Amino acid sequence: MSVQFLHVADVHLGNFQYQHKERYNDFARAFSAIVDDAIRRRVAAFLVAGDVFHKRSIDAMTLYQAKEAFGRLKAAGIPALVIEGNHDKAHYRDAQVSWLNFLSWSDDLILLAAANDGGTLRFDPWLPTTKQGGYYDITGTGIRVYGIPWYGGGTAAIMQRAGDALRRMRAEEERAGVRYRVMLLHTGVDGVLPSLHGLPTRTQFDPLRDVVDYVALGHVHKPYEFDDWLYNPGSTETVSAEEAAWKRGYYAVEVDLSSDAPRHHARHILNAQRPFLRWSFSVDGLASPEILLEHFGAWCREHRSQAERGAASFGGPPVIDVALAGTLAFDIGALERRALEDAVRAHMPALHIIIRNLFNTVDFNPETGELDGRDEATRQELELRIFQDLLARDARFAAEAGPWSRVVAELKQRALAGEDPAVIAGWLGEQHARLAREGSTQ
Ligand SMILES: [Mn+2]
């Protein structure tokens, strides 16, 4: 006899990413598609290892999305076994009642949480009367699912106490006909992501080693597995841009209960997620905003087919994330983000565009030398040098930095004197024409 269950984590319903309605819906769509798969496979249970919601204060629409998905599982007779992740947890001031508590009380799902009596951890059976408990036996299978909510920095100590608690339950497990045990835990493993600190090490999972057959993890959005024992499926949609590089999904776990020592086979399935394309565009050597835009447009055309393939496979336009890299040859104020976004939109399908400035700018660090600006004459000279230096770092003015610095100095004086802006603009136009004429004759 073999029994199948699904292991999902980090669904993050209610993530209004980029304040974009479609991105908000994407999280519900991803979850809904996994629920469809569970129903199609007629699995014996649907496990969620925490972070059903993106935040603890969800809105009515998000609650509806959750009720709709869990309601379909319930109608199909599939128990949904869930633990709280750090994103689901209620605030102390809200009497520590979370929306997952609410969904458990309203029979939409089965929320598992070991009871913590200070010194010891206790797993009680989940009861339909109290709608509380630390474990649930999947009817007629011999599979028991235990659950511990998120404990943050206390996770390693909790796992030690959970191991002790489960060893004490061995006789009871045997009486109940339990042959295979799953532990739902919202925690990562140290070292999987360099940016995540304070997670338990692999050896700190050892107390669970001989009392749990499958550790169903959540929390880290990058998928990984160790020793055919620790499994983390990753997030079901892209919660942050860095996740785009990881093949995230959920596990379909087949447990073979025909032998004395049940074995599982966990298959990682990639669910449909909106394509999230991350590219880098080099601004090196592009001397003016016009040249940059021209190159950027050509670059967009080169990337068009990739974006179109993503859109076709998903059935909707991708999120496009472009990092501008290198060293910008002109002042950052002259770079029009809007024009870059328009170029992306003109050349490829895009739901949302993110342009990130990762380039270096030619920062100004005046080498004042003998000039310390203590008297008015040297201050003006210092100012002129600073203008000249700044202009020399902008490819558009570099060749005429000297004459332009005098124009800028006079421009400043005219503005300080309260001259009419239209007059100043007219004068600036004349200076621009004059310098262009002089420059071309050299
Ligand atoms: Mn999460």
| Segment 349-374, tens digit of pLDDT | 999 999 999 888 765 555 555 555 45
Pick the CATH number of 2-269 from 3.40.50.2000, 3.20.20.120, 3.60.21.10, 3.10.180.10: 3.60.21.10
Return the pLDDT at 197: 83
Residues having C-beta closer than 5 Å to ion ligand 1: 10, 51
- Mean pLDDT of the 110-137 span: 94
Return the pLDDT at 376: 59
Strand partners, 214: 182
Alpha-carbon distance values, 389 to 162, 203, 208, 285, 400 (Å): 66, 58, 65, 19, 11
In the reported structure, the alpha carbon of residue 225 is separated from the centroid of ligand 1 by a whole-number distance in angstroms of 17
In the reported structure, the alpha carbon of residue 385 is separated from the centroid of ligand 1 by a whole-number distance in angstroms of 53
Q: How sure is the predictor about 441, in pLDDT bands with cuts at 50, 70 and 90?
A: very low
Return the pLDDT at 354: 95
Q: Are 333 and 362 in contact (CB under 8 A)?
A: no
Contacts of 233 (CB under 8 A, 6+ apart): 7, 8, 9, 49, 218, 223, 248, 249, 250, 251, 268
Return the pLDDT at 370: 52
In the reported structure, the alpha carbon of residue 113 is separated from the centroid of ligand 1 by a whole-number distance in angstroms of 18
Return the pLDDT at 374: 52
Return the pLDDT at 367: 55
Return the pLDDT at 366: 54
Query: pLDDT per residue over 210-266, tens digit each?
Result: 999 999 999 999 999 999 999 999 999 999 999 999 999 999 999 999 988 899 999
Sign of the alpha-carbon dihedral angle for 217, 15, 252, 310: negative
Q: DSSP string of 396-418?
A: TTGGGHHHHHHHHHHHHHHHHTT
Return the pLDDT at 440: 55
Return the pLDDT at 217: 98
Q: Are 324 and 359 in contact (CB under 8 A)?
A: yes
In the reported structure, the alpha carbon of residue 47 is separated from the centroid of ligand 1 by a whole-number distance in angstroms of 15
What ranges do the domains of the chain cover? 2-269, 276-361, 376-441
In the reported structure, the alpha carbon of residue 243 is separated from the centroid of ligand 1 by a whole-number distance in angstroms of 11
265: left (phi over 0), alpha (psi -120 to 50) or beta: beta
In the reported structure, the alpha carbon of residue 57 is separated from the centroid of ligand 1 by a whole-number distance in angstroms of 15
In the reported structure, the alpha carbon of residue 281 is separated from the centroid of ligand 1 by a whole-number distance in angstroms of 30
Q: How sure is the predictor about 109, in pLDDT bands with cuts at 50, 70 and 90?
A: very high
Task: Extract the runs of DSSP E, i.e. beta strands, from 79-179.
Answer: 80-82, 110-111, 115-117, 120-122, 135-138, 143-148
Q: How sure is the predictor about 117, in pLDDT bands with cuts at 50, 70 and 90?
A: confident
d(CA 384, CA 131): 76
pTM value? 0.83
Query: pLDDT per residue over 138-197, tens digit each?
Result: 999 999 999 999 999 899 999 999 999 999 999 999 999 999 999 999 999 999 998 888
Return the pLDDT at 442: 44
Which has more confidence, 167 or 402? 167
Question: Helix/strand/coil (H, E, C) string of 53-87?
Answer: ECCCCCCHHHHHHHHHHHHHHHHCCCCEEECCCCC
Which has more confidence, 416 or 316? 316
In the reported structure, the alpha carbon of residue 229 is separated from the centroid of ligand 1 by a whole-number distance in angstroms of 21
Query: pLDDT per residue over 333-352, tens digit each?
Result: 899 999 999 999 999 999 99
Query: pLDDT per residue over 407-438, tens digit each?
Result: 998 899 888 888 899 999 999 999 999 888 87
The answer on pLDDT for 198 being more than 90 is: no
Q: How sure is the predictor about 94, in pLDDT bands with cuts at 50, 70 and 90?
A: low
Helices (H), 315-394: 337-347, 376-392
